[in-house]
Each structure stands twice: as C-alpha cells, then as structure tokens.
Chain A
Amino acid sequence: MAKFIPFLVVGDPDLDTSIKVVEILIEEGADMIELGVPFSDAMADGPVIQSASERAAQSITLENVFQFAETILKKHHGFPFVLFTYYNPIFKMGIEAFAKRAKKAGIDAVLVVDLPPEEAAMYSQAMKMNQVKTVFLVSPTTSKERLKIITQASTGFLYYVSRAGVTGVQSEVSKSLTREVAEVRALTSLPIAVGFGISNGEQARQVSGIADSVVVGSAFVKLISEFRTTQSLDSVRALAKEIRIATQSQ
C-alpha cells in the first residue's frame, strides 16, 4: 500500500476551481497534495503542466498560493501540502521570507525543481530554521556520489523521477524502475515517492509495489484544464478514485 499524492497547478483555470479540485482530492483519499506554483518558464515540465503554469502565472503569485493553502487548511487542519515550484519566485520573495511564509501558511514540505542541493545551502538552512521539510529530486542520471548529497539535504521524503524527461504522461512504467528505486533505498531510510509520467491506475499499481508514494501530475492537470469547456470535475474525481484503489491494492 502506497500513499497517493496528486498534483495540481494552483489557479488553473482559476482559484475557485482549484479549491474544488483540492476538496475532491481530499475526499477521495489523497494522502498529500502537491501544489504547483505557477511559473512563466516551466522548463522542467512537459506541455500539459507547462501551459497550465504559463496560463496561471498571468495572475497567480507565490503569495496567492500561500493564501490558497491557508484557506484550505482552515477546514482541513494539518493536511500535508507539498509546494512544487521553480526557484525564481522564491529568490524574488527572499529565501528567509519564503521559509517563514511557508511555515506560517502551514506548508509541510517544499520541492524546488531547479534548485539542486549544491546550490541550496542558504535555502536548506532557512527551511530547517522554520521546520519546513525540503524535498529534492533523484533521477535515473543521478550518480551515487550525488545521491548521498541529495539524501543528506532531504527531509521528509525523496522524490524519484521515474524517467529522464520532463513531466507528462507516458505509455508504460520504465522496466528498470524496480532496480533503480532499490538502489536508492539501499542508501537512505527516507520514504521514496515516485513521479513523472504516472497517469492511470495500472501504472499507479505497478509503482505502488516499488515506492512509498505515487505522484500523479500531468494526468490531473490535463483533466482540470478541460473544466474550461466541460464545467465538470467528474473526470478528476474518477481518476482520483482509480489511483486511490490502485495504490491500496499493493
């Protein structure tokens, strides 16, 4: 049995819809939710999240995302939110101000997609001071040498990128994933979440057998973006159910 971590880009198509989406995901048993901070230049993301991010970045700021989390946490006290962001909005806010704000908003952990631990000394220190967890990525191209640096910098959990590539749906889970995750596990006692490209129940089932948590991003973002035409979030709920059942089956 693995944890289920869905992802959404906050503010796409708008904040009200994002609130509805989060309510549905919590109802359907999400263990944690990744809140994507919109950024104008989402270079690590594939077309689905990149365009959602670009749309939302027109009006949604990092501060808006904190306020969004605060609104939900009033009702769902203590629910673990993971902020998924690019570094520049943090840098612009100021690293210490960001860490304090994240703490105040009740954010559980932060993942900065373009901030490797080698450049993260000040950030990690500020986050530690404010008791907000720092999640770093591990990928198939990460060397053992660097894996050590990453595990040392990570608190909370490690996020394993299931394939070399940008975010997005893929047709099947990489065959080498079992071995890769086992190699990481040998070097750390931190829980391991696996994401990038997991889009349906079958893939979630496979990954649940290997990882502690399963992250589903682009598949949700794609369904949410269809809300603009369908005015319905039924498909989001259906996918959440499908993934939830799959992650519990293992």
Chain B
Amino acid sequence: MEQSRKGWFGEFGGRFAPETLMGPLIELERAYDEAKVDSVFIQELQYLLKNFVGRETPLTFASRLTEHLGGARIYLKREDLTHTGAHKINNAVGQILLARRMKKKRIIAETGAGQHGVATATVAARFGLECVVYMGKVDMERQAPNVQRMKLLGAKVVAVESGTQTLKDAVSEAMRDWVTNVGNSYYLLGSALGPHPYPSMVRDFQKVIGEEARAQILLAEKRLPDELVACVGGGSNSIGLFHPFLSDFLVRMTGVEAGGRSSVPGEHAARFDGGSIGVLQGTQTYILQDASGQIQNTHSISAGLDYAAVGPEHAWLRDQKRAQYVNVRDPEALDAFHLLAKLEGIIPALESSHAIAYAVKRARDMTKDQILLVNLSGRGDKDLNTVLEADEGKKHG
C-alpha cells in the first residue's frame, strides 16, 4: 500500500495552503525528511520516549471486561499511562525536537480536548521554548482542568471565539498565527491532518503505538489480534496503532468516530457517515459539509473527536477497504466510560471511551479464542466534570 504522490494517499491529502505557508511547509518537509534518517535525531527521540514519556506503555489484558462480555479476549494499549496521560505526547516530543533543530523559538499549537495542548506545553517547558495554544471557548469550558495544566506549564492559552468555538476554529486560528509569525514560529499540529507533511509526520511519530502493540501481543498470545479498535477524531492515535499492521491483511481495523446525539447534521462528527469529499484546512478528505461546500457544525460529548474533517490517510484506508469506520453515540461512550472504570479500574478519556463502546458491542459477536486490541488513547480525569454533568442530566432526565 504505497502513496501515489508525495503527500497524497490515493486521492486524499495534498497541500492546500495559503501562499505564505507554502514556503514554510516545504521547509518543514525538508527538515523532517533529513531528521528522520539522522541517527542523532532518532536516538534523542528514543531517549525522550523512554525517559520522559515513559515508553513503552503496557498492553493490559482486560480480564474482567472480557469475562463480563463473554466473547473475544480484550487487550488495552495503555497510552493513558504516558506522561501527560494521552498519546499526544509521542508526537509532541518528536516535533519539538524538529522545531529545535529548525531553530524556532516559539511554538504554536491548537487543541480540542486539551491533551495536545498539554503535551505541547509540556515539551515546550522541557526545552525552554515559548508556547501559545489556541483552544475553542466551548472546549475551554468543558476541559477546564487541561486549561489550568497548560497555564501551570507556562503556556499562553488563547480562547477562540469564532465559528463553533471548537477544534476546527482552533486550527484556523493557529494557522493565522503561523502565517503572521512564520519566521520565528513552529506550528506543532497535533493530529494526522492539515497540509503535507503533517499527516505523514504525525503518523510517523505515533507509529510507536502500533509497533509496540504488535510486539507485545505476539509475546502475550503468540499471534496477531483479530481486530484493532481506536477512536478517530483527526485520527492520530488510530493511524499510529493501525499503520504497523497494514500488511497484516488478516488483522481487521476499526476506527470509531463520534456519533454525537443523532445522525442529524450538526449533531455528530461522523465524517464517514454523513460527510463527503472536500478540502478543509489544507487537506483533501471526507468532511462534514452542506451542498454548497460550507462546513457544517459538529457535536460530540468528547472535545477531541468533535471535528469536521478526518485525517486523509484514514479516508484512503477506508476507500481501499483496508479499515472500516463506525460511529458511537454520546450515551454509549458514557456507558463504556463507567464500565471500564468499574470493571478494570481504569478511567478512560471520553475519546477513548468511544473505542471501548464499540469493543463492548463487537466482543460479544466474537468467539472466546479471538483477540480484540483496543487503543486506550488517554486517561479520563479531564472529563470528570462532563461525565458527572451528563449523569446528573440522565437522573433528572
């Protein structure tokens, strides 16, 4: 499964950027192409992943969940156990090394759930670089603990009040900042989306998830899993898990999007269900749009999945039928959140809870000798307020 043209995955991807960013994107691509084959860069990245991020992360057999469901054996890849509590740090560490190599002094990032913002603020602090994080106002309210964490780490958090005040608008605002401060600033994009080289570069930095998981499951079970499951917002944790298994054709792959409240436009973020091909924020992919190409509003209980476009490589994997994409609604994700907490002693992020919710449904249809490997992309402490409020709402109903 090869890329046809550089920066393209079949008919998806590309570099649809305003002219001012074209030069900087090409410069970034060159810097990354050099860095990724430079043994000094690779060694430093590996050192940080081990000693700062805390890799490798465990692959936990979810014995009580497995028993409860009575179907496939469920394993959890524990990205929630990384420093800062989500997979986002893998990419942040990689890109901060690149930013430093490119002698950039100021780091810009967007964030939805705040996990990428926290990861970026963390690595910026670690390397003594200035950090500005753009975050939708709605997201700042629902992920307040992460806003506090970013501030503690010395980052400036800018509330984005345009559009839907969520991730999409934070990306636009970060791009505006980058266009304006392109000389000294590095845009540390947090997901496998945006213009080339971001989708490939972010995937490369997240591939460690799948590489570890593949080795770990082979050690534990002496065979590959039957199916991989991961949630898909922009799609970085899922592509990180999937990519090292792409040539293992017997391993099924399922990406789980946010089904939100309903399938009505504006009430979900299921790009593969209600979307069509278009171009948004630098990349050609499936997006949620109306008949005249205006971007539609989205909704998800999880801020990290609440985005109108999906990473271009996922669009390609789906069209190639190499991966399938389903969606899970808010209440199912909430139930999965509680279930995992009670049965396994793990509080998952609401984003990851979508993957768990699908696994719960799916495992029952599988036999006891089959294996389901779920990426637990982040921890759920940041979501306690949202979950408690939703539970209250249900009670008073």
> Could you tell me which A residues sit within 8 Å of B by CB distance?
38-44, 46-47, 50-51, 54, 57, 61-63, 87-93, 113-116, 118-119, 136-143, 146, 150, 161, 164-166
Contact = CB atoms under 8 A, between A and B. Distances in A.
B17 A57 contact: no
Contacts of A87: 16, 279
Contact of A50 (B22, B162, B293, B295): B162
Given A88-B295, A141-B24, A166 B19 contact: no
A42 B179 CA distance: 13
Contact of B163 (A41, A114, A118, A137): A41
A116 B287 CA distance: 20
A93 B17 contact: no
A90 B284 CA distance: 13
Given A40-B295, A41-B169, A51-B162, 15 more contacts: A41-B163, A41-B172, A41-B295, A44-B176, A61-B294, A88-B293, A91-B277, A91-B293, A119-B15, A137-B19, A137-B20, A139-B19, A141-B22, A164-B180, A165-B180
Interface residues of B, number: 39
Candidate in A43, A116, A137, A141 with the most chain B CB atoms within 10 angstroms: A43
A44 B284 CA distance: 17
A44 B179 contact: yes
A89 B279 CA distance: 9
Contact of B293 (A62, A113, A136): A62
B18 interface: yes
A90 B294 CA distance: 11
Contacts of A47: 162
B23 A143 contact: yes
Interface in B1-42: 14-24, 26
22 contacts: A40-B294, A43-B18, A43-B171, A88-B279, A88-B289, A93-B292, A93-B293, A114-B16, A114-B17, A119-B14, A136-B19, A137-B20, A141-B20, A141-B22, A141-B24, A142-B22, A142-B23, A143-B26, A146-B22, A164-B179, A164-B182, A165-B180
A43 B292 contact: no
Contacts of B154: none
Contacts, number: 118
B19 A43 contact: no
Contacts of A116: 15-17, 19, 22
A88 B277 CA distance: 9
Contact of A113 (B18, B277, B282): B18
B318 to A, nearest CB: 19
B280 interface: yes
A149 to B, nearest CB: 10
A57 B294 contact: yes
A161 B19 contact: yes
Contacts of A138: 19
B278 interface: yes
> 5 closest pairs, A vs B, by CB?
A92-B293, A61-B292, A89-B293, A137-B19, A141-B23
A164 B169 CA distance: 20
Given A54-B163, A88-B280, A115 B292 contact: no
Contacts of A114: 16-18, 279, 282
A137 B276 CA distance: 28
Interface string B144-174: 0000000000000000001100001101100
Nearest to A159: B19
Contacts of A38: 294
Candidate in A41, A42, A50 with the most chain B CB atoms within 10 angstroms: A41
A137 B298 CA distance: 32
Given A87-B279, A146-B23, A115 B16 contact: yes
B54 interface: no
A141 B279 contact: no
B16 A161 contact: no
B264 interface: no
Contact of B20 (A90, A136, A143, A165): A165
B57 interface: no
A46 B18 contact: no
A191 B397 CA distance: 65
Given A89-B292, A164-B183, A139 B162 contact: no
Contacts of B182: 141, 164
A61 B168 CA distance: 21
Contacts of B176: 43-44, 46, 166
A192 B183 CA distance: 25
A87 B16 CA distance: 8
Contacts of B19: 116, 136-139, 141-142, 150, 161
A142 B116 CA distance: 30
Interface in B169-211: 169, 171-172, 175-176, 179-180, 182-183
Given A119-B15, A164-B180, A43 B172 contact: yes
A51 B162 CA distance: 8
A142 B281 CA distance: 20
Contacts of B289: 88, 92
B219 interface: no
Contacts of A41: 163, 168-169, 172, 280-281, 295
B64 to A, nearest CB: 44
Contacts of B281: 41, 43
A93 B290 CA distance: 11
B291 interface: yes
